[in-house]
Protein backbone atom coordinates (compact mmCIF):
# COMPACT_ATOMS: atom_id res chain seq x y z
CA UNK A 1 0.00 0.00 0.00
CA UNK A 2 1.47 3.37 -0.98
CA UNK A 3 1.97 6.26 1.45
CA UNK A 4 -0.53 8.38 -0.49
CA UNK A 5 -3.15 5.64 -0.22
CA UNK A 6 -2.53 5.23 3.51
CA UNK A 7 -2.99 8.97 4.01
CA UNK A 8 -6.21 8.89 1.97
CA UNK A 9 -7.58 5.99 4.00
CA UNK A 10 -6.67 7.72 7.27
CA UNK A 11 -8.34 10.95 6.13
CA UNK A 12 -11.36 8.98 4.96
CA UNK A 13 -11.74 7.35 8.37
CA UNK A 14 -11.44 10.70 10.11
CA UNK A 15 -14.02 12.25 7.81
CA UNK A 16 -16.34 9.30 8.46
CA UNK A 17 -16.01 9.80 12.21
CA UNK A 18 -16.90 13.46 11.87
CA UNK A 19 -19.87 12.62 9.65
CA UNK A 20 -21.17 10.03 12.12
CA UNK A 21 -20.91 12.54 14.97
CA UNK A 22 -22.67 15.25 13.00
CA UNK A 23 -25.48 12.95 11.85
CA UNK A 24 -25.96 11.59 15.37
CA UNK A 25 -26.11 15.09 16.85
CA UNK A 26 -28.56 16.22 14.19
CA UNK A 27 -30.88 13.21 14.32
CA UNK A 28 -31.01 13.14 18.10
CA UNK A 29 -33.01 16.39 18.00
CA UNK A 30 -33.42 19.04 20.67
CA UNK A 31 -34.88 16.65 23.25
CA UNK A 32 -31.61 14.67 23.53
CA UNK A 33 -28.81 16.80 22.11
CA UNK A 34 -30.24 20.08 23.35
CA UNK A 35 -29.47 21.77 20.02
CA UNK A 36 -31.82 22.40 17.14
CA UNK A 37 -30.86 21.83 13.52
CA UNK A 38 -30.81 25.59 13.05
CA UNK A 39 -28.31 25.97 15.90
CA UNK A 40 -26.09 23.25 14.45
CA UNK A 41 -26.23 24.76 10.96
CA UNK A 42 -25.00 28.09 12.35
CA UNK A 43 -21.74 26.55 13.61
CA UNK A 44 -18.64 27.50 11.63
CA UNK A 45 -16.39 30.46 10.85
CA UNK A 46 -17.78 33.82 9.80
CA UNK A 47 -15.86 35.41 6.95
CA UNK A 48 -13.12 37.52 8.56
CA UNK A 49 -10.67 37.45 5.65
CA UNK A 50 -8.41 40.49 5.70
CA UNK A 51 -8.93 41.22 9.39
CA UNK A 52 -6.17 40.83 11.95
CA UNK A 53 -6.20 38.75 15.12
CA UNK A 54 -5.35 40.81 18.25
CA UNK A 55 -1.60 40.37 18.72
CA UNK A 56 -1.57 41.65 22.30
CA UNK A 57 -3.58 38.78 23.82
CA UNK A 58 -1.37 36.84 26.29
CA UNK A 59 -1.49 33.05 26.22
CA UNK A 60 -0.22 30.41 28.64
CA UNK A 61 1.04 27.25 26.93
CA UNK A 62 1.20 23.66 28.14
CA UNK A 63 4.84 24.17 29.11
CA UNK A 64 3.83 26.91 31.56
CA UNK A 65 5.23 29.84 29.58
CA UNK A 66 3.34 33.07 28.79
CA UNK A 67 3.64 35.13 25.60
CA UNK A 68 1.25 37.20 23.50
CA UNK A 69 -0.13 36.09 20.15
CA UNK A 70 2.18 38.32 18.14
CA UNK A 71 5.25 36.82 19.81
CA UNK A 72 3.95 33.30 19.34
CA UNK A 73 3.44 33.85 15.62
CA UNK A 74 6.96 35.24 15.53
CA UNK A 75 6.51 37.03 12.23
CA UNK A 76 5.67 33.79 10.44
CA UNK A 77 2.59 32.59 8.60
CA UNK A 78 0.70 29.83 10.33
CA UNK A 79 -2.48 28.08 11.39
CA UNK A 80 -4.52 29.04 14.45
CA UNK A 81 -6.76 26.12 15.41
CA UNK A 82 -9.54 26.22 17.99
CA UNK A 83 -10.36 23.32 20.32
CA UNK A 84 -12.36 22.51 23.41
CA UNK A 85 -10.02 20.72 25.83
CA UNK A 86 -12.97 18.77 27.23
CA UNK A 87 -14.38 17.91 23.80
CA UNK A 88 -15.62 14.32 23.45
CA UNK A 89 -16.13 14.31 19.69
CA UNK A 90 -14.10 15.89 16.87
CA UNK A 91 -11.29 17.91 18.47
CA UNK A 92 -8.96 14.95 18.79
CA UNK A 93 -9.66 13.81 15.22
CA UNK A 94 -9.08 17.31 13.85
CA UNK A 95 -5.81 18.08 15.65
CA UNK A 96 -4.48 14.57 15.01
CA UNK A 97 -5.03 15.21 11.29
CA UNK A 98 -3.26 18.55 11.62
CA UNK A 99 -0.33 16.89 13.40
CA UNK A 100 -0.08 14.26 10.64
CA UNK A 101 -0.01 16.95 7.94
CA UNK A 102 2.53 18.94 9.95
CA UNK A 103 4.79 15.90 10.36
CA UNK A 104 4.79 15.33 6.58
CA UNK A 105 5.37 19.04 5.97
CA UNK A 106 8.54 19.16 8.09
CA UNK A 107 10.29 17.22 5.36
CA UNK A 108 9.88 20.28 3.11
CA UNK A 109 11.03 22.87 5.67
CA UNK A 110 8.73 25.93 5.53
CA UNK A 111 9.04 28.30 8.50
CA UNK A 112 5.63 28.70 10.11
CA UNK A 113 3.70 28.45 13.36
CA UNK A 114 0.97 26.06 14.50
CA UNK A 115 -1.11 27.29 17.43
CA UNK A 116 -3.97 25.36 19.07
CA UNK A 117 -6.12 27.57 21.28
CA UNK A 118 -8.76 26.47 23.79
CA UNK A 119 -11.97 28.41 23.22
CA UNK A 120 -13.84 27.25 26.35
CA UNK A 121 -12.68 29.59 29.15
CA UNK A 122 -13.88 27.11 31.78
CA UNK A 123 -11.15 24.64 30.78
CA UNK A 124 -8.05 24.76 32.97
CA UNK A 125 -4.48 23.53 32.70
CA UNK A 126 -5.46 20.12 34.04
CA UNK A 127 -8.13 19.74 31.35
CA UNK A 128 -5.57 20.63 28.70
CA UNK A 129 -3.02 18.17 30.11
CA UNK A 130 -5.62 15.38 30.20
CA UNK A 131 -6.65 16.14 26.60
CA UNK A 132 -3.02 16.01 25.43
CA UNK A 133 -2.47 12.74 27.26
CA UNK A 134 -5.45 11.26 25.45
CA UNK A 135 -4.29 12.55 22.05
CA UNK A 136 -0.58 11.73 21.74
CA UNK A 137 -0.46 12.37 18.00
CA UNK A 138 -1.83 15.88 18.53
CA UNK A 139 0.61 16.35 21.42
CA UNK A 140 3.48 15.78 18.97
CA UNK A 141 2.99 19.40 17.88
CA UNK A 142 4.75 20.35 21.13
CA UNK A 143 3.63 21.85 24.45
CA UNK A 144 4.26 25.40 23.23
CA UNK A 145 1.55 24.97 20.58
CA UNK A 146 -1.34 24.41 23.02
CA UNK A 147 -2.60 27.66 24.47
CA UNK A 148 -5.18 29.10 26.86
CA UNK A 149 -6.06 32.59 28.01
CA UNK A 150 -8.55 34.42 30.22
CA UNK A 151 -12.30 34.44 29.61
CA UNK A 152 -12.19 38.09 28.55
CA UNK A 153 -9.37 37.60 26.06
CA UNK A 154 -10.92 34.36 24.82
CA UNK A 155 -14.08 36.30 23.97
CA UNK A 156 -11.98 38.94 22.15
CA UNK A 157 -10.22 36.29 20.10
CA UNK A 158 -13.40 34.39 19.23
CA UNK A 159 -15.03 37.60 18.02
CA UNK A 160 -12.00 38.58 15.93
CA UNK A 161 -11.71 35.07 14.47
CA UNK A 162 -15.41 34.78 13.63
CA UNK A 163 -15.63 31.46 15.45
CA UNK A 164 -19.28 30.42 15.81
CA UNK A 165 -20.11 27.67 18.31
CA UNK A 166 -23.28 26.43 19.96
CA UNK A 167 -23.37 25.17 23.55
CA UNK A 168 -25.36 22.06 24.44
CA UNK A 169 -26.09 22.40 28.14
CA UNK A 170 -27.63 18.92 28.37
CA UNK A 171 -24.29 17.34 27.43
CA UNK A 172 -22.00 20.16 28.55
CA UNK A 173 -20.41 20.15 25.08
CA UNK A 174 -19.89 22.68 22.31
CA UNK A 175 -20.82 22.08 18.71
CA UNK A 176 -17.99 23.79 16.85
CA UNK A 177 -16.13 23.67 13.53
CA UNK A 178 -13.21 21.27 13.23
CA UNK A 179 -11.14 23.95 11.57
CA UNK A 180 -8.36 26.49 11.80
CA UNK A 181 -7.59 29.94 10.48
CA UNK A 182 -4.79 30.40 7.99
CA UNK A 183 -3.02 33.63 8.96
CA UNK A 184 -0.23 35.75 7.56
CA UNK A 185 2.89 36.87 9.40
CA UNK A 186 1.06 39.79 11.01
CA UNK A 187 -1.91 37.69 12.11
CA UNK A 188 -4.02 38.76 9.13
CA UNK A 189 -6.70 36.15 8.40
CA UNK A 190 -6.51 34.57 4.95
CA UNK A 191 -9.26 31.95 5.26
CA UNK A 192 -10.56 29.05 7.34
CA UNK A 193 -9.32 25.53 6.62
CA UNK A 194 -10.98 22.21 7.41
CA UNK A 195 -8.59 20.19 9.58
CA UNK A 196 -10.17 16.75 9.28
CA UNK A 197 -9.47 16.53 5.54
CA UNK A 198 -6.22 18.53 5.62
CA UNK A 199 -3.52 17.10 3.34
CA UNK A 200 0.19 17.99 3.62
CA UNK A 201 0.17 19.45 0.11
CA UNK A 202 -2.80 21.69 0.96
CA UNK A 203 -1.09 22.84 4.16
CA UNK A 204 2.11 23.60 2.25
CA UNK A 205 0.42 25.65 -0.47
CA UNK A 206 -1.65 27.45 2.18
CA UNK A 207 1.45 28.50 4.11
CA UNK A 208 3.21 29.63 0.93
CA UNK A 209 0.18 31.75 0.05
CA UNK A 210 -0.11 33.19 3.58
CA UNK A 211 3.59 34.08 3.58
CA UNK A 212 3.03 36.41 0.64
CA UNK A 213 5.42 34.44 -1.53
CA UNK A 214 8.30 34.51 0.98
CA UNK A 215 8.10 30.79 1.82
CA UNK A 216 8.62 27.84 -0.49
CA UNK A 217 10.88 27.38 -3.46
CA UNK A 218 10.79 29.45 -6.64
CA UNK A 219 9.20 26.49 -8.42
CA UNK A 220 6.51 26.12 -5.74
CA UNK A 221 5.69 29.82 -5.88
CA UNK A 222 5.42 29.56 -9.65
CA UNK A 223 3.12 26.55 -9.34
CA UNK A 224 0.96 28.37 -6.78
CA UNK A 225 0.52 31.24 -9.24
CA UNK A 226 -1.23 28.73 -11.51
CA UNK A 227 -3.34 27.34 -8.71
CA UNK A 228 -6.33 28.79 -6.89
CA UNK A 229 -8.19 27.96 -3.70
CA UNK A 230 -11.26 25.84 -4.32
CA UNK A 231 -13.66 26.28 -1.39
CA UNK A 232 -15.80 23.34 -2.54
CA UNK A 233 -12.96 20.80 -2.35
CA UNK A 234 -10.94 22.54 0.36
CA UNK A 235 -7.84 22.30 -1.80
CA UNK A 236 -5.70 24.25 -4.21
CA UNK A 237 -6.60 23.23 -7.75
CA UNK A 238 -5.08 24.25 -11.10
CA UNK A 239 -6.80 27.31 -12.55
CA UNK A 240 -6.64 25.62 -15.94
CA UNK A 241 -8.87 22.85 -14.57
CA UNK A 242 -11.50 25.42 -13.72
CA UNK A 243 -11.12 27.01 -17.15
CA UNK A 244 -11.48 23.62 -18.81
CA UNK A 245 -14.48 22.80 -16.62
CA UNK A 246 -16.08 26.11 -17.55
CA UNK A 247 -15.20 25.47 -21.19
CA UNK A 248 -16.74 22.01 -21.07
CA UNK A 249 -19.86 23.44 -19.51
CA UNK A 250 -20.02 26.05 -22.26
CA UNK A 251 -19.56 23.39 -24.93
CA UNK A 252 -22.36 21.27 -23.47
CA UNK A 253 -24.61 24.33 -23.41
CA UNK A 254 -23.79 25.13 -27.06
CA UNK A 255 -24.44 21.56 -28.21
CA UNK A 256 -27.70 21.45 -26.26
CA UNK A 257 -28.71 24.77 -27.79
CA UNK A 258 -27.85 23.57 -31.31
CA UNK A 259 -29.85 20.35 -30.89
CA UNK A 260 -32.78 22.31 -29.50
CA UNK A 261 -32.64 24.73 -32.45
CA UNK A 262 -32.60 21.87 -34.99
CA UNK A 263 -35.56 20.20 -33.31
CA UNK A 264 -37.48 23.48 -33.32
CA UNK A 265 -36.75 24.04 -37.02
CA UNK A 266 -37.84 20.50 -37.86
CA UNK A 267 -41.06 20.93 -35.92
CA UNK A 268 -41.84 24.20 -37.69
CA UNK A 269 -41.07 22.65 -41.11
CA UNK A 270 -43.32 19.65 -40.58
CA UNK A 271 -46.27 21.68 -39.22
CA UNK A 272 -47.51 23.00 -42.67
CA UNK A 273 -47.26 19.49 -44.16
CA UNK A 274 -49.46 18.03 -41.44
CA UNK A 275 -51.98 20.83 -41.89
CA UNK A 276 -52.12 20.07 -45.66
CA UNK A 277 -52.71 16.37 -45.01
CA UNK A 278 -49.30 15.38 -46.31
CA UNK A 279 -47.56 12.61 -44.43
CA UNK A 280 -43.76 13.10 -44.47
CA UNK A 281 -41.95 10.16 -46.10
CA UNK A 282 -39.46 8.16 -44.10
CA UNK A 283 -35.87 9.13 -44.78
CA UNK A 284 -34.46 7.48 -47.93
CA UNK A 285 -37.84 6.98 -49.76
CA UNK A 286 -38.57 9.03 -52.89
CA UNK A 287 -42.19 7.98 -53.41
CA UNK A 288 -41.62 5.76 -56.59
CA UNK A 289 -42.78 2.12 -56.59
List, for residues 50-79, the tens digit of each pLDDT value: 999 999 999 999 999 999 999 999 999 999
- 219 with 248, same domain? no
- 75 with 174, same domain? yes
178 domain-assigned: yes
Give CA–CA dist 7/250, Å, rounded: 36
134 domain-assigned: yes
Residue-range definition of the domain harbouring residue 249: 239-271
Of 250, 199, 249, 204, the C-alpha closest to 227 is: 204
Q: Which residue has the higher pLDDT, 126 or 35?
A: 126
pLDDT digits (tens, 9 = 90+) for 111-153: 899 999 999 999 999 999 999 999 999 999 999 999 999 999 9
283 domain-assigned: no
Give CA–CA dist 245/208, Å, rounded: 26
Q: Which residue has the higher pLDDT, 137 or 20?
A: 137
- 143 with 184, same domain? yes
284 domain-assigned: no
- 126 with 70, same domain? yes
Residue 16 pLDDT: 44
Q: How confident is the model at residue 232 (pLDDT cuts 50, 70, 90)?
A: low
- 52 with 193, same domain? yes
**In sequence order, what are the beta bridge partners of 229?**
236
Q: How confident is the model at residue 175 (pLDDT cuts 50, 70, 90)?
A: very high
- 206 with 126, same domain? yes
Domain count, the chain: 2
Kindly report the average pLDDT of the chain as a whole number: 76
Amino acid sequence: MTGRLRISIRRGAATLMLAVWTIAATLSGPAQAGLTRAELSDVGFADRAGRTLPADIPFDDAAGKTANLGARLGGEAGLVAFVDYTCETVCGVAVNALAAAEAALKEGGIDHRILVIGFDPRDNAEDRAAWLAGNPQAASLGEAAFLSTSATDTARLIDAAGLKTSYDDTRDQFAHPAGALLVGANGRIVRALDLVSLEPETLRFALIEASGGKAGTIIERAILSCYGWDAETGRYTPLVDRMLLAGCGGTVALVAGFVGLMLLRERRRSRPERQAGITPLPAGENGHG
